[in-house]
Amino acid sequence: MGVTAILGATVIDGTARPPTDNAVILVDGNRIRSISATNNAIVPAGAKVIDAHGKYIVPGLMDANAHLFGAPLPDLVLQYEGRYSDILEEASQIALKSGVTTIFDTWGPLDPLVTVRDRINRGEILGSRLFVGGNIIGFAGPLSPDFFATMNIFGADTVKRINRQWEHDVGSDLMWLTPDGVRSRVRQYIEKSSIDFVKYAASGHRDPFITFSAPAQRAIVEEAHRAGLTVQAHTTSPESLRMEIEAGADLLQHGDITGMAPMPETTLKTIVERSLPVAALLSTEKHQAWMRDHGTEAMRTLFNDNLDNNDRRLIAAGARLLLTTDGFVCGPPVVNHPRVAPHVKGAVDYPKRLGESHFLWLEAAVERGMTPMDALRSATSNIAEAYGQSADLGTLEAGKYADLLILDADPLHDVRNWRRIVAVMKDGILIDRSRLPIRRILTEEDPGAAKE
């Protein structure tokens, strides 16, 4: 790979700096060599040239929380057993196609995730850059009350065999252990796996129960830090959020959710003062109206006015938000599934549809008063910093990976312009988006038909 020169665009580099008009970006291999005003730029002989006059260039978008496996539906989990990496590959390509060049996968089957991450990194397959968290420590696998209770339809062998592909010995049985017992299991998990960050459950998935006591949470955080990893928690209530912060988490995953009560003022103040990154599950006002009228009671326990008000308060107080979507592939077998359809199908601006969710997030952020520039940083540099990846990612600066989007309209002018992507570059390579996803699985029109 030689040098590529992208000429003439306005570059919004994701730092605090104002945009650079008529810039020249030199890409050398998979990294940026330089960004400069045209006047000062020297394009090496032999460089491949991309004319981007009149265009806008931004860092590749990042999603601080997606689930490439898609919804862990009982039948799909069985149907695709042994082929999970095919599904992950499809998902990462759907994301890449829509401008998300980096994804932090925060819950999924560990081994296939690592396989796909490494194959992408080695350039063997196309896809968004992945960072993998594996299991949410303290949660059981997909065939469990934490996700989809199987109500005696499945045998214990099946349940165990599937769940352990997610749990890797840091499942819900950790709740029986002392803090020392939890520490020991987490340490083994980190040592044996090759995860990129640690996520644990501070509270339950549906109920606001607390999963781990304060000392157990501290033990998890210490083990993550000892291994040089960032750590985040799944929280759903005011008290579990406070506990997560006290335990020393680096990133508050959907820290804007406090369920049936508002975020306490003291917690909000702590978040702002310590500049704690909050991965916030923003959705558009249209979606919130839909949820108010059509959401199930269980959904509205978490996705309600408290969430909306928390987001507004966080933005007004200048908290550091991160784009986070819980995004997953919404192909026919998923969205038509009786467990998913009531929440997804027919929902207005459904905020978890991978490939679309990040655009909606950015729109929702601006709707709630965030400046366009802060929205951009929430989707790029804030995430890189929160995950300790800012040496390589998050801004367009010399030395960083050449992950960038070329838009044909200014996203700082109108947040809807984020959708006007004309090119995606990742690792210095221009992506042929028309080919993606290369192999359709969950997005196949009629997946059943192909079987016979």
SS3 71: coil
Q: How far is the CB of 429 from a copy of itself (least distance, A)?
A: 35
Residue placing its CB nearer to a copy of itself in the complex, 240 or 378: 240
304 binds a copy of itself (CB under 8 A): no
Residue placing its CB nearer to a copy of itself in the complex, 45 or 156: 156
By CB under 8 A, name the one of 14, 60, 108, 204 that touches a copy of itself: 204
Residue placing its CB nearer to a copy of itself in the complex, 2 or 346: 346
16 binds a copy of itself (CB under 8 A): no
Q: 358-376 b/e with 16+ CB inside 10 Å = b?
A: bbbbbbbbbbbebebebbb
Question: 410 Cβ partners below 8 Å, 6+ apart?
Answer: 10, 56, 417
437 binds a copy of itself (CB under 8 A): no
Number of Cβ within a 10 Å radius of residue 261: 11
Residue placing its CB nearer to a copy of itself in the complex, 78 or 317: 78
- H/E element, 179: helix 179-192
Q: Stretches 240-248, 273-281, 381-389, 423-431: which one binds a copy of itself (CB under 8 A)?
A: 240-248
Kindly write down the DSSP assignment for every residue of 147-165, as one continuous string: S---TTSS-HHHHHHHHHH
CA 297 – CA 343 distance, rounded (Å): 11
298 binds a copy of itself (CB under 8 A): no
Tokens of 279: 């991965």
- H/E element, 374: helix 372-378
Tokens of 444: 């196949």
For the chain, the residue count is: 452
Sign for the CA dihedral angle at 294, 297, 301, 306 comes to positive
By CB under 8 A, name the one of 108, 238, 255, 428 that touches a copy of itself: 238
> Scanning residues 53 to 92, which ones bind a copy of itself (CB under 8 A)?
73-76, 78-79, 81-82
* Per-residue contact string for residues 130-169; x = within reach of a copy of itself by CB under 8 A: ------------------x-xxxxxxxxx-xx--------
> Scanning residues 368 to 427, which ones bind a copy of itself (CB under 8 A)?
none
Residue placing its CB nearer to a copy of itself in the complex, 44 or 155: 155
DSSP label at residue 328: B
**For residue 324, which amino acid is it?**
T
Residue placing its CB nearer to a copy of itself in the complex, 92 or 172: 172
Q: For binding to a copy of itself (CB under 8 A), which residues are involved?
A: 73-76, 78-79, 81-82, 148, 150-158, 160-161, 172-173, 175-179, 181, 204, 207-214, 216, 237-240, 242-243, 258-261, 264, 332-334, 336-339, 446-448, 451
